[in-house]
Amino acid sequence: MPSSNDLVALARAAAERAGVYLRSARPLGPSGWTAKGTADWVTEVDRAAEAMIGEILLDGAPGSRIVGEELSPDVVRDGLVWIVDPLDGTTNFLHGFPQWAVSIAAAVHGVLEAGVIYHVPGNRLAHASRGGGAWEGERRLRVSTIEDPGHALIGTGFPFKDHTQLDSYLEQFARVAAMTSGIRRPGSAAIDLLEVAAGSFDGFWEQQLSAWDVAAGTLLIREAGGRVTDLSGKDLQVGHGSVVAGNPAIHEWLLGVLRTED
């Protein structure tokens, strides 16, 4: 089994290769978009990037498997598994809005060992290994030290796929907005979680995300000193569901606010 550092190196190489391709790829017009669901698009660009990533990861770690939205959406946990989002923020990419990223994580028997997020337009590449910290270049990442919610900046994601959750989300949004400095929604969960790890966001929540949206960011935040759980407060594993993240103080506060019943 490769070491955590070896897994990071492989993930970085794959993310950088995909980033070169994505940076040069021309966004397609709507005729080239395929709808996976409501306002949820996939293109040949996503598929090509995932194929490039898969080739590097599987060649570098024979016998490993990939979980990803386009190729293998079923979550598996046995052995070495790569959790890949080749283009997180596809809608942003298609509209030329520079908030999209490549997200790659490695888990061994369900335990996150390595994670890489590459914010391609900003040329920001961050990585983490279990027990080795979270880094962006030579800078070690740390979650923020803000404890007062009134000073906090919170990231979020709208329930754009399932509008049946919109009313409950708007209730959560109203409570959080009333008690904080502000809420931001860049449109890429990978970037949101990177911002938590880097201390720019003090917290983040979203009602429903997939494993490939959050696996790498989960490890970055934990290695930067933060917490990542579901809405019940259970530590997030490799899987799909709700996400609440932040520095320890804001995470605890955010959980309480989000679970408040009107």
| CATH number assigned to the domain comprising residue 218 | 3.40.190.80
Which residue stretches of the chain are H helix?
4-24, 44-60, 90-94, 166-179, 189-198, 211-223, 248-258
Q: Which of 35, 105, 50 is nearest to 75 (CA)?
A: 105
**Domain count of the chain?**
2
Same domain, 10 and 105: yes
pLDDT at 133: 98
Q: Which residue has the higher pLDDT, 165 or 20?
A: 20
Q: Say if residue 82's pLDDT is above 60.
A: yes
Cα atoms in the Cβ-side hemisphere of radius 13 Å centred on 252: 5
Place of tokens 């900003």: 122
Q: Say if residue 40's pLDDT is above 50.
A: no
Q: How far is CA 54 from CA 2, 40, 98, in A?
A: 17, 22, 24
Q: For the chain, first and last CA: distance in Å?
A: 50
Q: CA-to-CA distance for 164 and 159, rounded, in angstroms?
A: 9
Q: Say if residue 211's pLDDT is above 80.
A: yes
pLDDT at 52: 95
Mean confidence (pLDDT) of the chain: 91
Q: Say if residue 36's pLDDT is above 60.
A: no
Q: Say if residue 153's pLDDT is above 50.
A: yes
Q: Say if residue 39's pLDDT is above 50.
A: no
The pLDDT tens digits of the residues spanning 182-205 come to: 999 999 999 999 999 999 999 999
Query: What's the average model confidence in pLDDT over 96-125?
Result: 97
Same domain, 124 and 191: no
Q: How far is CA 212 from CA 43, 81, 96, 168, in A?
A: 17, 11, 22, 24
Q: CA-to-CA distance for 245 and 203, rounded, in angstroms?
A: 5
Q: Using an 8 Å Cβ cutoff, are 67 and 76 in contact? A: yes
Q: How confident is the model at residue 54 (pLDDT cuts 50, 70, 90)?
A: very high
Place of tokens 């000073």: 151
Q: Is 69 helix (H, G, I), strand (E, B) or coil?
A: coil
Query: What's the average model confidence in pLDDT over 76-80?
Result: 87
Q: Which residue has the higher pLDDT, 20 or 94?
A: 20
Please give the residue range of the domain that contains residue 97: 4-140
Q: CA-to-CA distance for 31 and 255, rounded, in angstroms?
A: 41
Beta bridge partners of 130: none
Same domain, 13 and 49: yes
Same domain, 198 and 87: no
pLDDT at 51: 92
The DSSP call for residue 38 is T
User: What is the pTM assigned to this prediction?
Assistant: 0.92
Q: Which of 64, 12, 21, 65 is nearest to 43 (CA)?
A: 21
Q: Is 9 exposed, middle or buried (0-12, 13-18, 19+ CB in 10 A)?
A: middle
Q: Which of 140, 164, 194 is the last residue of a domain?
A: 140
